[in-house]
Structure 1
Amino acid sequence: MEYSNATIMREDRQLLMLTHLSQLLDLVTGIGGFIVPLVIWLTQKDKVLGMDAHGKMILNFQISIFIYSIISIPLILLFGIGILLLIGIGIIAIVFPILNAIKVNNGEIPSYPLSIEIIK
């Protein structure tokens, strides 16, 4: 029997779900919501079916949230608009990882609105 060098990828919805949920570590650690999905993506993208696409999607969302937060800080001085934006960004950063984790667990395709595609 001869084996090829091609890696056999496994389907692991639970790991994909946990990768989406790991973004919520930002609430506890501040940066864990970026580091943990990055590490999972880098170590599992060639082993788990769909991890490459999900990892890129998550990292693009995290980078986008960071950019929007930085942009909203100077807007605090402008009639407090920045505070409203930061509240909205906070709600989005909590709700969409949870919704997408549920979608992934159900076999659906997740999506992150307002996400800038930086990592392709």
Structure 2
Amino acid sequence: MTESLTKHERNLASLIHASTFSKFFIPFGNFIIPLVLWTANKKEYEFVDYNGKQALNFQISMLLYSIILGIISIPFFVGFLPNIFDFDHFGFHHLNGYNNLNLNFDSDDFRFGSWLLPIGISGLVQGALFVVNIVYTILATIRTNEGQTFQYPITIKFIK
């Protein structure tokens, strides 16, 4: 496929992949800009059509995975909320006068073990999704600019 590709096609396809980084500057820019570039050029160039679908499918999949992970972690946050308002952990129930300030921090009173591990795991998975998104977008941009076809991993094909 690389023999018949023009420089313009390769640049346009790699621009579609690279434009997904616009999410750091424009809300939902990782969907809007590649979608505009793809729809404007998909009928003219088969290579641009393929790469536009790949980039959009990957971004939609990453959004879906993040939403699912957020929904899964909601019960752990809700389970933690009653502990936020329980000021007895810090000895604040003794603050009835300004002259006898008694702050008592006892590490045995903290009940962080029940929610820290699941929230930490969900945070690590969110971080891993972020790194996967960055790394594979850079790889796709480079390989597409070289004229190679690139297929993202863990992608659900919403656009066929």
TM-score range, shorter chain: 0.7 to 0.9
Query: Which consecutive unaligned segments of at least 5 residues does structure 1 have?
Result: 1-9
Correspondence for 2:122: 82
1:20 counterpart (12, 17, 29): 17
Residues 66-96 of structure 1: CA deviation (Å, up to 9, x unaligned): 1000011133326112211110111111111
Structure 1 counterpart of 2:43: 46
Report whether the alignment pairs 1:108 with 2:148.
yes
Please, what is the CA RMSD of the aligned residues?
1.5
Residue correspondences, number = 111
> After TM superposition, which residue ranges in structure 1, 4 or more long, deviate above 3 angstroms?
none
Alpha-carbon distance in 2 for matches of 1:40, 1:89 = 25
Identity %: 36
Q: More relative contact order in 1 or in 2 (CA 8 Å, sep 6+)?
A: 2
Distance 2:145 2:57 in 1: 21
Q: Which amino acid aligns with 1:20?
A: H
The whole-number CA distance in structure 2 between the counterparts of 1:91 and 1:27 is: 14
Could you say which structure has the larger radius of gyration? 2
Q: Residues 6-37 of structure 1, C-alpha deviation per residue, up to 9 Å, x if partnerless?
A: xxxx7311111111100111122231011000
Match of 1:69 among 57, 66, 70: 66
- The residue matched to 2:25 in structure 1 has which SS? helix
**Contact kept? 1:23, 1:33, Cα under 8 Å:** yes
Distance 2:27 2:125 in 1: 18
In the aligned structure 1, how far is the partner of 2:51 from the partner of 2:13? Answer: 7
TM-score, normalised to structure 2, is 0.65
Structure 2 alignment gaps of length 5 or more: 77-114
